[in-house]
Structures are given as C-alpha cells and as structure tokens.
A = this chain, B = another copy of it.
Amino acid sequence: MKFRRSGRLVDMTNYFLSHPHKQIPLTFFSEAYKSAKSSISEDIAIIKEVFEEKRIGTIGTTAGATGGVTFVPTVGRSKTEELIDQLCEELEDSERLLPGGYLYMMDVIGDPLLTLELGRVFASAFRKANVDAVMTMATKGIPLAYAVAGHLNVPVSIVRHEHRITEGSIVSINYVSGSQKRIQTMSLARRSLKPNSNVLIIDDFMKAGGTIRGMMDLVTEFQSTIAGIGVLTEAVHSEEKLVDKYVSLTKLTEVDIKTKKIKVERGNLFDIPFSYEDIK
C-alpha cells in the first residue's frame, strides 16, 4: 500500500503503539509502504521526537543486518506524579471504607483505560528488567497484570486459590497468609509458565506480603526467576513485611474506622532511581 508521509506517520504510529517491545526491521515498513529506507528513517525520527516530547515512549534502534527499531512505552515523572496523586485523592474518599478496614477499589480496577495507564507506569519502571512473563493472583490482580503485560508484550500467568479441572496438570503450594496467619493453597497450571522465565509479579494489594511471598515460591517451583514485584496499593502493616523489594504506586498509611478517615500517599515508586534515570 502506497502512502504519502502524512499517511505513513499515522499508520506507523498505530503500528508502534500496538507492538510495544517488538523489534521491527526497517524493511518491514519500507516494503509495506513501497518507500525508500531513507524516507522510513525520517518518518521514524519524527515519530520518535513526538513520542519523547509527549512522554509516550522511546524508539530505540539496533544496527546491523538483524537490527531494527523498537518502541518502548514509558511514562515521565511528572505525568506519573499527576496520575498517582489523583489516584491517592480518589482513594481517600471515606465512602470506600468497608467492614474490616478494607477499601472498595473495584471502581479503580474496573476502569479499563485507567488500568491501562497504571499498567504503563509499571511497564515503564520495569522496561529494562528483561521480563518474560507477568504473574498475578486471581481475581483482582488480573486487570492490572494484563495492562502491564500488554505494554511489555509478554504473556500472563494467573495463579488461583482453587484447583480447576479445566487447566490440566497444576503445581500447587501452601503458603501462610501474612496478616491472618492462615495456611492456604495457590495453584498454577503447569503449561501456563515456561521454565527459566524471568517473572514480574503484579498484584492489586499487599499487606504483610504473604500472597506475594507465595507467588515467589511458585516462581521457583517453575525453575524461574523474579524480574520484579509491583503492587497498586501497599498497606501499612505493624509487623515486618514478608517481601523486601517491591514497587508500590500508592501507600495506605491510615485507616480509622471510627472517624472514617483514610490516608493514601504516593508509593515507593518515586524513591527508586532506576524508574526515571533515562526517560527524556
């Protein structure tokens, strides 16, 4: 299909956005548009400039015969601060308070475009972690996990509490839920995670970290490694957390059931130097 530059810019922008973290040879575009490689290179330079200016992401170039260009979604620091501060404010709404000191968060998790934005923040933070797969716990971690995995272009493994017949052979482990000190079981289908994967664990909520600790053990059962851990909200917890290194977007620092006061602050994401070092 023959396009002029303006048409190519629109179509290539769509292609990059829907194929993150995928190396694309220049010949792919030059053949698709029947254009010279030099023209394609100029197109890409324009797209790269806008993507960096508007903090959509970066486009990296690998030289050589097997080389090409790769779109990596990123979110700049000020955009992230704005997004997280707005989320904190929304989460502080006293109407969210549920019996037991839990917070109602399904409106946040239930918003697909907000979830995609939050997923992009994690994908940006872990863009150099060589993630092969994202792991999460059913049910409420799933939307965020898919958003992160989509931006990193890797598959998702869904861990579950129950055993399901419809997934074939499964690997189960017992773990101690950190806050309630109860022994529970979590399972993952044998086929749903390749051995030797580098796994990014994503969950919606972390208190003591027992569930995440369990997922870390499960990763080991699959002869795999931990690329990182990301949680949407961490809660203050009187005892020591069972997980050392993790990235949180928000921190629930205070829940007063009597006065219905909730305090939510920025998570530790902003304290981690690797997240923003080279995002222009």
Contacts and interface: CB of A to CB of B under 8 A. Distances in A.
A150 B13 contact: no
Contact of A7 (B50, B166, B167): B50
Does more than half of chain A's interface fall in helix, strand or loop, or is it mixed? helix
A7 B54 CA distance: 10
A98 B165 contact: yes
A47 B166 contact: no
A49 to B, nearest CB: 7
Contact of A3 (B50, B102, B142): B50
A155 B10 contact: no
A14 B54 contact: yes
B106 A191 contact: yes
A31 interface: no
| A interface, size bucket | 35 or more
Contact of A50 (B10, B17, B99): B10
Contacts of A13: 9-10, 13-14
A249 interface: no
Interface stretch (A109-117, A124-132, A217-225, A265-273): A109-117
A56 B10 CA distance: 11
Contacts of A156: 110, 112, 143
A18 interface: yes
11 contacts: A1-B54, A6-B6, A7-B46, A7-B53, A17-B17, A98-B165, A104-B167, A106-B167, A112-B146, A112-B149, A112-B153
Interface of A: 1, 3, 5-7, 9-11, 13-14, 17-19, 46-47, 49-51, 53-54, 56, 98-100, 102-104, 106-107, 110-113, 115-116, 138-139, 142-143, 146, 149-150, 153-158, 160, 165-168, 189, 191-192
